[in-house]
Amino acid sequence: MQANAANSVPERNMVLIGFMGAGKTTVGKIVADRLTREFIDVDELIASERGMPVTEIFKTMGEAAFRRMEKEYIKDLCENKRCAVLSLGGGAFLQEEIREICLSSADVVFLDIPWESWKTRLPLIRDSRPILQNKSDDEVKALYDARQAIYAQHHFKVNAGHRTPEEAAQDLIDWLTTQQRI
Ligand code: S3P
């Protein structure tokens, strides 16, 4: 069978998944910087192209519209980028089509953060995440728990709770090296 150049292993994008505030953007930027790769935060891309922050998109257009945009942007990036580091919003992987294209075309890395570590970040991020607004701490915990099965679909996991962003980034790079991706 002939190799498909578009999907050849060294050209794969890296996709970072995980709960809101796990550090996907911070770690992704460090990895991209160290590997001299392009970094794209999908939420930031949507916000800049739509001319409004994600919170505003949720407010004015609704979550369903945001999810449609999120899917189109991620599909497009997966199909057209090579070797980029992509940070996905924490809810993106709930969509089956997004999971399928990422898992088949990219290296999917889960930034895993234990609840006990994550809950200390909640006050810092609540206002900027529409999904967290108007939810009790118990409801946020239920959302966190429900998402774990979705994030379990990955190629590599980094413990983002017990590692600094620099250490987590190095863990990813070490894994890419063992996988002969770099
Ligand atoms: C969301 C996570 C956010 C953003 C939107 C919805 C979610 O991204 O996409 O507010 O459903 O978990 P971060 O994971 O970067 O916070």
In the reported structure, the alpha carbon of residue 90 is separated from the centroid of ligand 1 by a whole-number distance in angstroms of: 4
Report the 10 Å Cβ neighbour count for 106: 22
CA distances from 42 to 47, 86, 155 (A): 9, 7, 20
Please give the share of the chain, as a percent, with pLDDT higher than 90: 90
Residue 138, pLDDT > 80, answer yes
- Please report the pLDDT score of residue 181 as a whole number: 82
Number of structural domains (the chain) is 1
Token pair 């994008």 in the structure block, residue: 13
Nearest CA to ligand 1 atom 9: 89
Distance CA 128, CA 57 (A): 12
Distance CA 136, CA 147 (A): 17
Q: Is 54 in contact with 25 (CB distance < 8 Å)? A: no
Q: Is 66 in contact with 58 (CB distance < 8 Å)? A: yes
Alpha helices (runs of H) in the chain, residue ranges in sequence order: 24-35, 42-50, 54-61, 63-80, 96-105, 115-118, 122-125, 137-151, 165-178
130 lines ligand 1 (CB under 6 A): yes
Average pLDDT over residues 85-113: 98
Nearest CA to ligand 1 atom 4: 89
With 0.75 as the threshold, say if the pTM is over it: yes
Distance CA 44, CA 50 (A): 10
In the reported structure, the alpha carbon of residue 42 is separated from the centroid of ligand 1 by a whole-number distance in angstroms of: 10
3-state SS of 28-60 is: HHHHHHHHCCCEEEHHHHHHHHHCCCHHHHHHH
In the reported structure, the alpha carbon of residue 179 is separated from the centroid of ligand 1 by a whole-number distance in angstroms of: 29
Q: What is the CATH number of the domain that holds 93?
A: 3.40.50.300
Distance CA 74, CA 15 (A): 10
Residue 54, pLDDT > 70, answer yes
Question: The domain containing residue 19 runs over which residues?
Answer: 2-178
For the CA of 129, the nearest atom of ligand 1 = 10
| Residues pairing with 156 in the sheet | 109
For the CA of 147, the nearest atom of ligand 1 = 12
Closest to 18 (Cα-Cα) out of 123, 104, 125 = 125
- Please report the pLDDT score of residue 9 as a whole number: 67
